[in-house]
Amino acid sequence: MPLRYDLVPMDRSHLEGVLAIERTCFHPPWSEQVFVDALCNDAVSLIAAQAGDGRVLGYAALSVVLDEGSLDKIAVDPACRRQGVGEELLKVFLRFGRAHLAFLTLEVRAGNAAAIGLYEKLGFRQAGRRKNYYPQEHEDALLMTAQFPRIGVD
């Protein structure tokens, strides 16, 4: 049976679930204060995948400066992976990007084949490599970019 959830703007009510996923997926994780600050920042958009019972299944964060976007976070509860949650979260920001941005960038662990495959499927291409970006794991980051056509720009 497919997961049932809604994509909603993240608010403080989602923090407990977001922080649980954050601690599971990222080392070191963002703190609660970083998320609270992001919720108050007009240049940051946060969305959550929320089940009918209010449980957070995943979340994503996008920062925008002028016409440039940066996908700062995207994570899905490990129990809910490979069910389309991450893809749907990312598609929200890609739709926004096509309408308002020149490009959208992200960093991903060079060894995270599943995430890289999803990003490539959705139009991201490798634009660079950051050596030893994740020093605790001695792992590089791939810089990936999705470019959007600028209609009416000379």
* Residue 153 forms part of a structural domain: no
Judge whether residue 152 has pLDDT over 80.
Answer: no
Catalytic residue among 16, 119, 133, 139: 119
What is the tens place of the pLDDT at every residue in 124-134? 999 999 999 98
| Cβ atoms of residues 126 and 146 within 8 Å | no
135 pLDDT band (50/70/90 cuts)?
confident
Q: Identify the residue with better confidence: 66 or 2.
A: 66
* Domain carrying residue 10: 5-147
Q: How far apart are CA 149 and CA 98, in angstroms?
A: 7
Q: What percent of the chain stands above pLDDT 70? A: 97
Helix (H) or strand (E) run with residue 35 in it: helix 32-39
Enclosing H/E stretch for 8: strand 5-9
Q: Report yes or no: 47 and 7 within 8 Å, Cβ to Cβ.
A: yes
For 76-109, what is each residue's pLDDT tens digit?
A: 999 999 999 999 999 999 999 999 999 999 999 9
50 assigned to some structural domain = yes
Q: Is position 42 within any domain? A: yes
Label residue 53 by pLDDT band (50, 70, 90). very high
Instruction: Please tell me the number of Cα atoms within 13 Å of 139 on its side-chain side.
Output: 13
Task: Let me know if 139 is a catalytic residue.
Answer: no
Distance CA 135, CA 107 (A): 14
Using 50, 70 and 90 to split pLDDT, how confident is the model at 37?
very high
Answer whether residue 154 is part of any domain: no
Write down the catalytic residue from 32, 88, 107, 120. Answer: 107
Quote the CA–CA distance of 76 and 85 in Å, as a whole number.
Answer: 7
DSSP assignment letter at 75 = E
Mean pLDDT of 17-21: 97
pLDDT (0 to 100) of residue 153: 54
Pairwise CA distance, residues 19 & 29, whole Å: 8
Number of domains into which the chain is organized: 1
What band does 151 get if pLDDT is binned at 50, 70 and 90? low
Angle formed by the axes of helices 15-25 and 32-39, nearest 10°: 130
For residue 152, being part of any structural domain is answered with no
Q: Is 88 a catalytic site residue?
A: no
**CATH for 124:** 3.40.630.30
Residue 116 dihedral angles phi and psi, to the nearest 5°: -60, -40
- 95: in domain: yes
